[in-house]
């Protein structure tokens, strides 16, 4: 596929990695950069893969839930305490640590599902063609460390 575009977002996000043997098991935060790469064989009538505004519309509210939130493994002994104290600012990951790899997968799954629904409906102004697909999601944990997710079938 010859055309790829990337839309980036930044969020402040915390997590606790209960399975980690060292400092990462304690609450800590990151300035995360989220990159979403879409691809298509051809360009649309506006000479685009798709408008970046569509990606922002499909993913913005989802990422807002992660901004200034603490992600935790629901098996962590402190999960119930943090959830009771901070409500929806604590995001539970059932039986898994919210590593950057897991966050990349969660973002990919959300955006690919939303994109499929968007393509399937008639969208005046900003249509997206069926050939447009989400190729991968990369989540930066620090300026020198990132994790990436894409499905095997691609």
**pLDDT at position 154:** 60
Strands 69-73 and 145-149: unpaired
Sign of CA dihedral 88, 94, 95, 100: negative
d(CA 26, CA 73): 12
Going residue by residue through the chain, which has 154 residues, state the pLDDT in tens, using 9 for 90 and above.
599 999 999 999 999 999 999 999 999 999 999 999 999 999 999 999 999 999 999 999 999 999 999 999 999 999 999 999 999 999 999 999 999 999 999 999 999 999 999 999 977 889 999 999 999 999 999 999 999 999 986 6
Q: Find the radius of gyration of the CA atoms of the chain.
A: 17
Q: What is the pTM of this model?
A: 0.95
Q: Where are the domains of the chain?
A: 3-149
Report the CATH fold assignment for 3-149: Tetrahydropterin Synthase; Chain A (3.30.479)
């Amino acid at each position: 596929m010859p055309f790829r575009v990337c839309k980036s977002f930044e969020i402040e996000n915390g997590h606790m990695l209960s399975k980690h043997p060292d400092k990462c098991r304690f609450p800590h935060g990151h300035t995360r950069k989220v990159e979403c790469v879409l691809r298509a064989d051809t360009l649309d009538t506006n000479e685009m893969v798709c408008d970046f505004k569509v990606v922002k519309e499909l993913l913005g509210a989802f990422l807002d839930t992660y901004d200034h939130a603490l992600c935790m493994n629901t098996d962590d002994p402190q999960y119930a305490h943090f959830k009771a104290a901070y409500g929806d600012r604590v995001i539970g990951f059932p039986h898994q640590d919210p590593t950057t790899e897991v966050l990349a997968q969660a973002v990919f799954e959300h955006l690919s599902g939303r994109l499929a629904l968007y393509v399937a409906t008639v969208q005046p102004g900003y249509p997206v063609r069926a050939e447009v697909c989400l190729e991968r999601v990369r989540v930066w944990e620090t300026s020198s460390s990132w994790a990436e997710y894409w499905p095997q079938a691609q």
